[in-house]
């Protein structure tokens, strides 16, 4: 989207679509009706999941692919043609998709700073949305996305895929039954590897990239190949302007899954965060290591997030797809530990199942599980057809995303404890924290207060 047009499009969409809200809300699709998708953000994750969604669901197609990276755009169109047997239209301007009355839903898989602006505009245009994690880059815009979904009665499925995993539901049922006892503390881990990271010198903007559109709501700055890669993911996770770092990446999945399993509690009362680049150093803004403590009143939840523990391993792919096998929990990098008065539950992210240990290290209960990507995509299409809320409902996923923001804000304000009012979603003891939680948007790309 061009700079000066973002606010015009948002406001016009708000005014023009509001009158037709009731009509949009009733436009559910029958089981045999075609669902037309459009992809915004043609990286490997967005492209792979949207194509797979068409393969595993009946009568679902991708009409248009959109990216400001012309190399990825062309590759995405070629992949759709190869995998699905037809050639989608291509555009570098997402407004083309929002204006297309044939498009039912938008698959948003951009870098994180574009997730919420694109999702809100899609809602305003009468489109349903699948938006990848982390859905937001600050707390305020998360609330705006919730408001937009409700106002325009849109289905918004967040890419927290664990929310469609059968083993997550069985773990939740086990805890709800009381067999684990009273929850004492929950420990989430995202202990990944990493190395020294320094930003490469600025260069002229490459011909394959529309840099102004890529930046969108983020501040204007010179181009560095450390931020955007022509063919790969790029290094934008190292910058606050574009992401919440590693905490917003894999750790957001782990904490969201923990919330689901323990019954989706509301916002915590306070957060303490610590972190820094004390291992490798370098120029990255987001920290190499973080430890966060959330106070939920009757229990605590912690998260350790690292880009410096190369000896830890994610659950191997063969175990992720085998319900009969479980990870080696001790060095599993993306596990959750739920401590109750009657036992300890280990929980795997994106497959791996769960196991409960009792006295003498005895396994007293367990359930295997596989990576629920397919289930999440099936649930999204079912929600589009029935208008029932999806498993990754935007309200609950906003609360999970807020855990990411709380931890990062505690770090960014000086490694301190912050008191949080869950009703107003504001901090009670730090003005700077509230400024960060509100976010800032480049002129022409602002999210309006009234979405």
Q: Is residue 306's pLDDT more than 70?
A: yes
The answer to whether position 450 is within a domain reads: no
170/319 same-domain check = yes
Rounded-to-integer distance, Cα 237 and Cα 194, Å: 13
248/166 same-domain check = yes
Q: Is residue 44's pLDDT more than 80?
A: yes
180/309 same-domain check = yes
Cα distances (angstroms) measured from residue 126 to each of 86, 100, 120:
25, 10, 10
Residue 421: predicted pLDDT: 98
435/294 same-domain check = yes
Place of tokens 């905490």: 247
The answer to whether position 451 is within a domain reads: no
The burial of 328, by beta-carbon neighbours within 10 Å (0-12 exposed, 13-18 middle, 19 or more buried), is given as exposed
Helix (H, G, I), strand (E, B) or coil at 276: strand
The burial of 283, by beta-carbon neighbours within 10 Å (0-12 exposed, 13-18 middle, 19 or more buried), is given as exposed
The answer to whether position 109 is within a domain reads: yes
111/201 same-domain check = no
Mean of pLDDT values over 232-256: 97
Percent of the chain clearing pLDDT 70 (strictly above): 93
Rounded-to-integer distance, Cα 417 and Cα 409, Å: 10
Residue among 427, 438, 437, 413 nearest 270 (CA): 427
Domain boundary among 161, 190, 216: 161
Rounded-to-integer distance, Cα 390 and Cα 262, Å: 19
pLDDT category, 199, cuts 50, 70, 90?
Answer: very high
Q: Which two tokens stand for residue 117?
A: 């602006």
Rounded-to-integer distance, Cα 73 and Cα 221, Å: 24
Mean of pLDDT values over 427-438: 98
Residue 34 CB-half CA count within 13 A? 7
Rounded-to-integer distance, Cα 186 and Cα 262, Å: 9
The answer to whether position 380 is within a domain reads: yes
pLDDT category, 27, cuts 50, 70, 90?
Answer: low
Q: Which two tokens stand for residue 209?
A: 């990239």
259/379 same-domain check = yes
Residue among 372, 351, 377, 321 nearest 50 (CA): 377
The answer to whether position 202 is within a domain reads: yes
The answer to whether position 275 is within a domain reads: yes
Rounded-to-integer distance, Cα 102 and Cα 12, Å: 20
Structural domain containing residue 38: 5-161
Mean of pLDDT values over 139-157: 98
Q: What phi and psi, each to the nearest 5 degrees, are found at residue 360?
A: 60, 30
404/296 same-domain check = yes
Separation of CA 199 from chain center:
25
Helices 431-438 and 139-151, axial angle in degrees (round to 10): 40
307/420 same-domain check = yes
Mean of pLDDT values over 37-53: 97
Rounded-to-integer distance, Cα 252 and Cα 257, Å: 8
Q: How many domains does the chain have?
A: 2
pLDDT category, 231, cuts 50, 70, 90?
Answer: very high
Mean of pLDDT values over 231-237: 96
Mean of pLDDT values over 55-81: 98
Cα dihedral 324, 328, 333, 336, rounded to 10, equals 70
The answer to whether position 65 is within a domain reads: yes
Least confident span in 30-34, 147-151, 318-322: 30-34
Q: Is residue 14's pLDDT more than 60?
A: no
Average pLDDT score, the chain: 93
Helix (H, G, I), strand (E, B) or coil at 353: coil
The domain that holds 18 is classified in CATH as 3.40.50.720
Q: What phi and psi, each to the nearest 5 degrees, are found at residue 287?
A: -75, 155
Residue 18: predicted pLDDT: 33
Cα dihedral 445, 67, 127, 267, rounded to 10, equals -60
Least confident span in 11-15, 81-85, 118-122: 11-15
- Terminal-residue alpha carbon distance, the chain: 18
Place of tokens 């924290």: 433
Residue 28: predicted pLDDT: 60
Mean of pLDDT values over 132-148: 98
60/174 same-domain check = no
Contacts from 420-424 at CB under 8 Å and sequence distance 24+? Answer: 420/267, 420/268, 420/269, 420/270, 420/271, 422/266, 422/267, 422/268, 422/269
Domain boundary among 111, 144, 161: 161
Rounded-to-integer distance, Cα 306 and Cα 333, Å: 9
244/357 same-domain check = yes
**Residues 310-327 pLDDT 10s:** 999 999 999 999 999 999
Domain boundary among 145, 161, 177: 161
301/287 same-domain check = yes
35/56 same-domain check = yes
Q: Which two tokens stand for residue 194?
A: 């990493």
Residue 13: predicted pLDDT: 38
Helix (H, G, I), strand (E, B) or coil at 393: strand
The domain that holds 257 is classified in CATH as 3.30.360.10
The answer to whether position 197 is within a domain reads: yes
What is the pTM for the complete model shown? 0.93
């Amino acid at each position: 989207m061009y700079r000066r047009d973002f606010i015009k499009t948002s406001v016009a969409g708000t005014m023009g679509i509001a009158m037709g809200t009731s009509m949009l809300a009733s436009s559910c699709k029958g089981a045999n009706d075609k669902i037309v998708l459009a992809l915004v953000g043609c990286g490997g994750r967005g492209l792979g999941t949207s194509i797979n969604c068409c393969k595993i669901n009946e009568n679902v197609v991708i009409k248009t692919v959109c990216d400001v990276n012309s190399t990825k755009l062309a590759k995405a169109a070629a992949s759709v043609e190869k995998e699905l047997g037809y050639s989608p239209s291509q555009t570098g301007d997402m407004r083309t998709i929002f204006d297309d009355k044939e498009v039912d839903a938008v698959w948003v898989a951009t870098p994180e700073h574009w997730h919420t602006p694109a999702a809100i505009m899609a809602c305003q245009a009468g489109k349903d949305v699948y938006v990848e994690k982390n859905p937001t880059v600050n707390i305020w815009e998360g609330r705006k996305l919730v408001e937009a979904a409700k106002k325009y009665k849109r289905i918004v499925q967040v890419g927290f895929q664990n929310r469609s995993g059968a083993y997550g539901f069985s773990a939740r049922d086990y805890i709800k039954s009381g067999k684990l006892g009273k929850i004492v503390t929950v420990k989430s881990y995202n202990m990944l590897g990493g190395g020294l990271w320094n930003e490469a010198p600025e260069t002229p903007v490459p011909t394959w990239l529309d840099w102004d559109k890529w930046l969108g709501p983020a501040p204007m700055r010179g181009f560095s190949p450390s931020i955007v890669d022509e063919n790969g993911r790029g290094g934008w996770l190292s910058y606050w302007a574009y992401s919440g770092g590693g905490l917003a990446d894999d750790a957001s999945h782990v904490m969201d899954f923990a919330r689901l399993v323990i019954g989706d509690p509301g916002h915590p009362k306070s957060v303490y965060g610590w972190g820094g680049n004390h291992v490798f150093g370098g120029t990255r803004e987001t920290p190499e290591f973080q430890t966060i403590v959330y106070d939920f009143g009757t229990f605590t939840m912690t998260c350790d997030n690292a880009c410096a523990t190369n000896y830890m391993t994610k659950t191997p792919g063969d175990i992720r797809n085998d319900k009969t096998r479980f990870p080696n929990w001790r060095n599993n990098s993306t596990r959750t530990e739920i401590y109750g008065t009657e036992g300890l539950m280990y929980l795997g992210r994106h497959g791996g199942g769960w196991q409960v240990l009792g006295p003498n290290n005895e396994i007293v209960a367990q359930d295997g599980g596989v990576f629920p990507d397919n289930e999440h995509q099936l649930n999204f299409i079912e929600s589009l057809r029935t208008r029932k809320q999806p498993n990754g409902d935007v309200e609950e996923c906003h609360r999970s995303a807020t855990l990411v923001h709380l931890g990062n804000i505690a770090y960014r304000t000086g490694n301190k404890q912050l008191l949080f009012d869950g009703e107003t979603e504001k901090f009670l003891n730090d003005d700077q924290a509230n400024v960060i939680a509100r976010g800032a948007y480049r002129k022409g790309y602002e999210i309006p207060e009234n979405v």
